[in-house]
Amino acid sequence: MINLIISGAPGSGKGTQSDLIVANFRLKHLSTGDMLRAEIAAGTPLGKQVEKLVSSGAYVPDQLMIDIISNAISQVDNSYNGLILDGFPRTAEQAQALEEIFEKMGKKISIFLDIHVEEQELIDRLLKRGQTQGRKDDNLETIRERLKVYNAKTQPITDFYKKKQIYHRIEGIGTIDEIYSKIEDIINSVANG
C-alpha cells in the first residue's frame, strides 16, 4: 500500500505526473483542484461558494477542504493500491487534519514528493495552458497570486514532511518522461524497501 502526496507550485506538473503514476501503480488520484473545478462547472452550491476564490488564486477555507478530502478518501474502494493526494494538503492545518484522517484509518502516508520548477518556467507553462485550455486561473495576474499564496502557505509545510522522513525533492525541469522516471524510482524503492 502506497499513499503519496504530490506537491509543488502551480504548474510544476502535479497533475501530469499523477496521470502517469496512476497508470502504472493503480493508485486512486484525488486532485482537490479538479474536484473544485467540477463543482464550479456543475454550478453546485459548493461550486458557487468557491468560484470567486479559485478564479482569484486564493485558497478555499481549510475546514471546507478538509471535509471535501475526508469525504473523497472515505469513498475510495479497496481495489486500489493506495492514494495520490494532488493539491492537498496546502496549509499546516490541512497537514495536521490529514494526519488525523490517516491515523483513524490505521494507514500511513509513505511519500511526499515536492516538484521544483523555477518561477519563470511555471509562469510560461501556465500562460501557455491558459491560451489553449482556458482554465480561468491561468492568467498572469492570477498566476502571480497563486505563486504568492503557494510560497506563503504551502512551501513551509515541507518541513513537517522532512521531519517525518518521507520528503523527496524532484527537479521538475526536463521532459515529462524524465521526471516521471525519477518519481517511479522513488516509489519503487519505498514500495520494496
**Which residues contribute to the site for Mg ion (CB under 5 A)?**
14-15
d(CA 1, CA 83): 9
> Residue 9 is placed in which grid cell?
507550485
Scanning 7-15, 21-29, 41-49, 161-169 for contacts with ligand AP5 by CB under 6 A, the matching segment is 7-15
* C-beta nearest to ligand AP5: residue: 33
**Shortest Å, Cβ 40 to ligand AP5:** 10
**180 is an interface residue for ligand AP5 by CB under 6 A:** no
The number of C-alpha atoms within 13 Å of 15 and in the hemisphere containing its C-beta is: 9
Which is nearer to Mg ion, 151 or 188 (by Cβ)?
A: 151
- From the CA atom positions of the chain, what is the Rg in Å? 16
Q: Return d(Cα 109, Cα 13) in angstroms, integer.
A: 20
8 is a site residue for ligand AP5 (CB under 6 A): yes
| Binder of residue 82, out of Mg ion, ligand AP5, none (CB less than 5 to 8 A by kind) | none
Query: Based on the number of CB atoms within 10 Å of its own CB, is 192 exposed (0-12), middle (13-18) or buried (19 or more)?
Result: exposed
In the complex, what is the shortest distance from the CB of residue 42 to ligand AP5, in angstroms, rounded to a whole number?
Answer: 15
Instruction: Give the x-and-dash track for 134-163 against ligand AP5 (CB under 6 A).
Output: ------------x-----------------
Whether a cis peptide bond, with omega within 30° of 0, leads into 156 is no
Of residues 95-124, those binding ligand AP5 (CB under 6 A): none
Can residue 32 be called a binding residue for ligand AP5 (CB under 6 A)?
yes
User: How near is the Cβ of 8 to ligand AP5 at its closest, in Å?
Assistant: 6
For the chain, how are helix, strand and coil distributed in percent, rounded to 5? 60, 10, 25
CB 126 within 8 A of CB 15: no
CB of 130 to Mg ion, least distance (A): 13
- Asked if residues 81 and 4 have their Cβ atoms less than 8 Å apart, the reply is no
Sites of contact with ligand AP5 (CB under 6 A): 8, 10-16, 32-33, 36, 53-54, 57-60, 65, 87-88, 90, 94, 125, 129, 146, 176, 179
